Amino acid sequence: VTLDVEALRADTPGCRLVTHLNNAGASLPPRQVTETVIAHLRREAETGGYEAAAEAEADGRLGAVYTSIARLIRAEPADVAVLDNATRGWQSVAYGVSLRPGDRILTDRAQYSSSVLDLLRLADRHGATVEIVEDDEHGQVDLTDLRRRLDRGGVALVSLTHVPTHGGLVNPAADVGAMTRAAGVPLLLDACQSAGQLDLDVERLQCDALAATGRKYLRGPRGTGFLWVHPQLRRRLEPPWPDLRGGDWTGPRSFELRDDARVFETWERNVAAVLGLGVAVDYAMTVGVSGIEDRVRGLAAELRTLLTDVPGVRVHDTGRERCGIVGFEVAGVPATEVRDALRARRINTSVSDATGSWWALADRGVPDLVRASVHAYTTEDELLTLRDALPPARVG
């Protein structure tokens, strides 16, 4: 599939102003998303927030958001919760699993910092342990080590990062899913960086829950995310913090929780942003996620080659399979300085602190990295612009 890059750029006003290589932070949204959000905010101002939400409910726009997300990941709308971010969705599952002393939680080296905090807290609280499944020689999660650890028994949860925050690694999530499914252990997949850049199918991935955010590769508004949970896992979870969206106060001392994924939602939310998320998902599907995936992978591979040829520049991405995020260092130049020098030329990148990913970076002596992340609307010329704007290495 060849994408119409010019059309993508024409839909993206920010392309005319910046070279945006921070899609792993937050992408430039297409105008359709921005216009949807603004139109709803205007409607709220004209008629009232509750009244505007009721209209969006009545004419099916809110319901369509669930249908769209479900189509994106090949799931059922009733199993989707729309939330403010990915973390809240991920936490709803992690904190909802019942843990007993001695239970084991397996995770990977690329796990996101917020999730690590939560896993360590949960283990402390319940007398469980957190084990890191080692990486293999390619720097992706080691399936042999995973199998060994699953075979020992007592595993309450496997928490896997599909794509980490700091680099191009794509973990073999479907292989992990096949193993956890066979072992009867729930798999919680962090798809925060993969949603919108990789074609996701929860059946094929064989995960039991998947958390994602709106603002990154999906190009939705900030403050949006979603959680999908397999109904079988949902019925085993204890929703950790339901409010009146998630349940009903049915009598003076009784309540009932909902029997769908909205049990994980909060009553109050930014309806304009939720509608914008739906439009972003529709936009990605209209363009075609597998086309986006091919282009993003191709551009990132090209960028790695360009960077590797620059003296003193080292790319740190690992994994057999790679995606749109490129983590690199310029010898002797702090990553923040590289980012700021680029920013001064209106080239957006970001920094991955080594201690923001202890297990994948700092523990292994990898320094803070500059993160350049491409999207389908990125051009080959922009890759050259980045390369040519890099401050020279300071070696010796």
Ligand X SMILES: Cc1ncc(COP(=O)(O)O)c(C=O)c1O
Residues that bind ligand X (CB under 6 A): 85-87, 112, 114, 161, 164-165, 190, 192-193, 213, 225
Which C-beta is closer to ligand X: that of 192 or that of 202? 192
- Rounded to the nearest 5°, which phi and psi values hold at 363? -55, -25
Query: In angstroms, what is the minimal distance from the CB of 326 to ligand X?
Result: 14
Which C-beta is closer to ligand X: that of 103 or that of 177? 177
Q: Which of 155, 149, 147 is nearest to 103 (CA)?
A: 155
Q: Which of 347, 353, 391, 336 is nearest to 373 (CA)?
A: 347
Query: In angstroms, what is the minimal distance from the CB of 259 to ligand X?
Result: 26
Query: In angstroms, what is the minimal distance from the CB of 26 to ligand X?
Result: 9
Cα–Cα distance measured from residue 216 to residue 213, given in angstroms and rounded to the nearest whole number? 7
Query: In angstroms, what is the minimal distance from the CB of 24 to ligand X?
Result: 7
CA atoms within 13 A on the CB side of 142: 12
Which C-beta is closer to ligand X: that of 72 or that of 390? 72
161 by Cβ neighbours in 10 Å (0-12 / 13-18 / 19+) ranks as: buried
Query: In angstroms, what is the minimal distance from the CB of 190 to ligand X?
Result: 5
Which C-beta is closer to ligand X: that of 52 or that of 374? 374
Cα–Cα distance measured from residue 73 to residue 90, given in angstroms and rounded to the nearest whole number? 16
Which C-beta is closer to ligand X: that of 113 or that of 385? 113
Q: Is 164 helix (H, G, I), strand (E, B) or coil?
A: coil
Dihedral through CA 230, CA 235, CA 237, CA 242, nearest 10? 100
Task: Identify the bridge partners of residue 225 per DSSP, sorted by sequence position.
Answer: 83, 213
Q: Is 188 helix (H, G, I), strand (E, B) or coil?
A: strand
Query: In angstroms, what is the minimal distance from the CB of 122 to ligand X?
Result: 16
Cα–Cα distance measured from residue 45 to residue 186, given in angstroms and rounded to the nearest whole number? 44
Angle (nearest 5°) at CA 182 between 178 and 184? 115
Residue type present at position 168: G
Query: In angstroms, what is the minimal distance from the CB of 152 to ligand X?
Result: 27
Which C-beta is closer to ligand X: that of 205 or that of 333? 205
